[in-house]
Amino acid sequence: MAQNHLLLLPGDGIGTEIMAEVEKLIAHLKEKGLADFSYDTGLVGGCAYDAHGQAISEEDMEKALKADAVIFGAVGGPKWDDVPYDVRPEAGLLRLRKDLGLFANLRPAICYSALADASSLKKELVEGLDILIVRELTGGVYFGEPKEIIDLGDGQKRGIDTQVYDTYEIDRIARVAFDLARTRDNRVHSSEKRNVMKSGVLWHEVVTEVHKDYADVKLDHILADNCAMQLVRNPKQFDVIVTDNLFGDILSDAAAMLTGSLGMLPSASLGAPDANTGKRKALYEPVHGSAPDIAGQGMANPIAMLASFAMALRYSFEMIELADKLEGAISSVLDEGLRTGDIMQDGCKKVSTAEMGDAIIAKI
């Protein structure tokens, strides 16, 4: 079967609008004979809850498990702030991550040179910035049990979450980080709080052990609080940062914002290679959220979504050249001065979601 099969899950808010640009791109690639993707679509998040009371249906989960890759938009919005915990929009995303076994979340924080001025940091500190955060995505406090609220009586409740990491979980994410470092600047910072957390002690121990297989890669250990500081002080000191689910959530968001290119940043979530086919399950999503305030107005920035598709080409389909071409197209429309509202600058041309998508696709 030469055809590669995708599941598109636009989700809520601006998810639909930015996913429309992916559909255009897929059609364009087929028309030009550059790549042949078939796809299904499904519901996730608030829209799935509205349709059938679950953050993702069993049927769509089936489709996700069968697809070569899932392309994900964004979930959530004020409309669903008060739905029950188990069916809140995020539950759909968390279930996809867990049931697909997507333990490795790759979050590049790069600063597009055309946008270096948009950062809150001084330009010289972010220009050329290129960090890769490798976040563990299926363990830690996100999934550990017990996770509950207990009624203690007398008006007292107890909220409990459990941070759990096993050796093999740390081992495999460390290997992903070291492998990726070898394709980059060959440096890894491993971040935890081993001075207060036992899971951090184990994290530190296992990463140190795995490093023996990667003696050519430079490894530094950095406490998570210091890592947050150093990201703010001088982000260019980092190449690859590997960290747990919760620290990864916070540190990668801080790093993304530092670049000034938040609306541009993609992510990839990968599973382990299949024992028979060698293929990894995968989900690709923009780092930004569903932006309900601007949804439906055709003004959302589709770049992070298209850049996520580029990551799919690279990591799921080994279409490296095409991925490079797509990323190049994004840089060059920015260099030409095209801007959606979120990144508008003096002297640039303000365009809609569709116009931005068209301009990028036209270059491929």
Ligand X SMILES: CC(C)[C@H](C(=O)O)[C@@H](O)C(=O)O
- According to the binding rule CB under 8 A, does residue 262 interact with its own copies? yes
Whether residue 32 lies in the annotated active site: no
Judge whether 338 and 350 are in contact, CB under 8 Å: no
Whether residue 253 lies in the annotated active site: yes
CA distance 157 to 176: 40
Judge whether 18 and 286 are in contact, CB under 8 Å: yes
- Give the x-and-dash track for 275-304 against its own copies (CB under 8 A): ------------------------------
Whether residue 236 lies in the annotated active site: no
Crossing angle of the two packed helices 245-258 and 224-233, in degrees rounded to 10:
10
Element (H, E) at 61: helix 58-66
| Tokens 């989700």 belong to residue | 11
Contact region with its own copies (CB under 8 A), list: 18-26, 59-67, 172-180, 251-259: 251-259
CB of 225 to ligand X, least distance (A): 5
Whether residue 142 lies in the annotated active site: yes
Chosen from ligand X, its own copies, none, partner binding at 122 (C-beta under 5 to 8 Å by type): its own copies
Whether residue 171 lies in the annotated active site: no
From the CA atom positions of the chain, what is the Rg in Å?
20
Instruction: Work out which of 19, 43, 44, 93 binds ligand X, going by CB under 6 A.
Output: 93
Catalytic residue among 39, 142, 165, 315: 142
Contact region with ligand X (CB under 6 A), list: 86-94, 113-121, 308-316, 348-356: 86-94
Q: What is the dihedral of CA 60, 62, 66, 67, to 10 degrees?
A: 10
Catalytic residue among 60, 214, 249, 284: 249
Contact region with ligand X (CB under 6 A), list: 57-65, 89-97, 201-209, 235-243: 89-97
- According to the binding rule CB under 8 A, does residue 121 interact with its own copies? yes
Distances from the Cα of 106 to the Cα of 57, 203, 265, 328, angstroms: 26, 18, 11, 20
End-to-end Cα separation, the chain, in angstroms: 25
Instruction: Work out which of 38, 162, 195, 297 binds ligand X, going by CB under 6 A.
Output: 195
Buried b / exposed e over 216-229, threshold 16 CB at 10 Å, is ebebebbbbeebbe
Instruction: Point out which residues bind its own copies (CB under 8 A).
Output: 76, 85, 88, 90, 94, 120-122, 125, 141-142, 144, 147-149, 152, 155-168, 193, 195-203, 224-226, 228-229, 231-234, 246-247, 249-251, 253-254, 256-258, 262
| Catalytic residue set | 142, 193, 225, 249, 253
